[in-house]
A and B are shown apart, each in its own frame.
Chain A
């Protein structure tokens, strides 16, 4: 009985040390930091609006999908779709300088650069 309780206590203590270790090494996925990048754009978002989404993540980048989810989480109540077929498209660059080649390749023209790699584009009719 004492052993049962002791194992449980040691396990939760171990978990606490694990979390403290992660904190000290700053290993947490930064939701707040990601949201801060979109602060300026978020102020312009209206409910019931729909945006497309594009990023400069590489095709096999494991953070591509979480970043799309985070963009939706940040910009709710607007709806963000993982497509460039919408009239307005949010582009998530990991560099402050927008990649004009990527925009052209996807048939997009810049409407406004909100800084921190967040660019609003419109779809060019082709």
Chain B
């Protein structure tokens, strides 16, 4: 029953997305992308509905089962019944990737899945934050019956009752429908979000840059030990990184297909679900709007900024429903944020302390170079990669890339200022929270990287040539007028 519930959640998302972007069923990049995005869309829709049902009708099995089943059937009927043809998401033109790249990608999938399974088999309740915050909340929602609001008691202020409910809501719904509690539900949800993130990243790079770069990008994400470990920790960080990636990826697709405004609406919905996943999602949501406006004004095309108004309207419209749920939760159900309890004098004292700035910057640099727990600092490897293949941002991608960059910098800057001003023990926060903060942006960062990097020159994809001056010259990267570097 638990897995039936998860299937219903996934199919709700897939049905909704197929209704928005219909194409014939079958094995295609389009459908892989819809299936990957469907995980997050379904989880977001169903968890919002679960919360509203809980508020209106209490934890009633019949209501929740009818709602989950009914929404899944309705979404599937919409998705499968539509006859129009939507925008096709297909592989970008480029050389076929060599066999060894496909092999490395498959090996990365196998290793990532094995690492995840071994980690969760060994630690099925997840790390401390998972059971003391997210799964604790899910237990209250499932076990407390009519007293489910006890989950947000001020006596539990150490467990952050103001944190939003996407993850605990989905877990509690699975337990309620199954009729029993099991660690299988949070584990399966964590697995689906990690899988969905890899699917969205690989698929979107495939649409924007081609199969070869998609396989390399997918291998890079699946090989990020820190990201896979974080997923197996059963925190809500990987779901947040999914929504950040999904929102930004959909805006990339919007700029490639400006006539289809559904991309903006769906990006807004994903950003709204980010806010329903973690408080950092609210920061991302605000940063995304600012970034999109600034990038539109800076990189305006012939149509002018007024042409972007319909896109912005749809982006904001997509955010509204989940944002309304978040606001209702914050104002009427969730506990008060511990940010409001801090005295202004102490905040100012924290901000004016140069020692704290130094600790923060030092910590950030150390975490940045160790990001992802690669054997050697990946940021240096990526810098070398960029040096070899050069920056080559196409004209049509500049606005997207600028918006992504601004959103990233703004979000991280706000989070750092919050840490600087409010957190008492900065070294502990740096040790426990900074890597997670940067990993929220890692999948989106990989997408930005491949959007900025020039096309790859694959020796195996070309016909063998005798070693001559001409061939050596051909392999040497050259600067072209279009390069921005």
Binding site for B on A (CB under 8 A): 1-16, 19-20, 22-23, 28-29, 31-32, 47-48, 50, 66, 69-70, 72-73, 76-77, 79, 81
Contacts and interface: CB of A to CB of B under 8 A. Distances in A.
B125 A14 contact: no
Interface of B: 100-101, 104-105, 107-108, 111-112, 114-115, 118-119, 122-125, 128, 131-132, 135-136, 139-140, 143-147, 150-151, 153, 155-156, 158-159, 216, 219-220, 222-225, 228-229, 372-376, 378, 381-382, 385, 456, 458
B381 A50 contact: no
B136 A12 contact: no
A77 B140 contact: yes
- Looking at chain A's contact residues, is the secondary structure mostly helix, strand, loop, or mixed? helix
Taking each of A11, A22, A23, A69, which has the highest tally of chain B beta carbons within 10 Å of its own beta carbon? A11
Given A23-B118, A23-B122, A81 B155 contact: yes
B108 A12 contact: yes
A1 B214 CA distance: 12
Nearest to B138: A76
Nearest to B213: A1
Contact of B150 (A11, A15, A66, A79): A79
Contact of B115 (A16, A70, A76): A16
B114 to A, nearest CB: 6
B223 A69 contact: no
A19 B119 contact: yes
Contact of B104 (A5, A20, A29, A31): A5
A3 B389 CA distance: 14
A11 B225 contact: yes
B116 to A, nearest CB: 10
A64 to B, nearest CB: 13
26 contacts: A3-B381, A4-B382, A4-B385, A5-B104, A5-B105, A5-B216, A6-B104, A8-B220, A9-B111, A11-B225, A11-B372, A12-B225, A14-B375, A15-B115, A15-B225, A15-B373, A16-B114, A20-B118, A23-B122, A47-B146, A50-B155, A66-B128, A69-B132, A72-B132, A77-B145, A79-B155
Nearest to B103: A5
B101 A5 contact: yes
Contacts of B101: 1, 5
Given A19-B122, A47-B143, 5 more contacts: A5-B216, A9-B111, A10-B223, A10-B375, A66-B132
Contacts of B374: 7-8, 11
Contact of A48 (B111, B150, B219, B458): B150
Contacts of A72: 132, 136, 156, 159
A111 B272 CA distance: 50
A47 B128 contact: no
Nearest to B123: A28
Contacts of A79: 150, 153, 155-156
Contact of A77 (B118, B128, B147, B228): B147
Contacts of B220: 4-5, 8
Contacts of A1: 101, 216, 385, 456, 458
Contact of B224 (A3, A8, A23): A8
Closest 3 pairs (CB-CB, A-B): A8-B223, A15-B225, A77-B144
Contact of B223 (A11, A19, A77): A11
Contacts of A13: 111
A102 to B, nearest CB: 23
A119 B193 CA distance: 41
Contacts of B139: 73, 76-77
Given A4-B381, A12-B115, A47-B147, A76 B223 contact: no
Given A7-B381, A15-B115, A73 B150 contact: no
A32 B147 contact: no
Given A16-B114, A79-B155, A8 B135 contact: no
Contact of A47 (B114, B150, B219, B229): B150
Nearest to B137: A76
A12 B122 CA distance: 17
Contact of B108 (A8, A69, A81): A8
B157 to A, nearest CB: 11
Contacts of A69: 128, 131-132, 136, 158-159
A73 B131 contact: yes
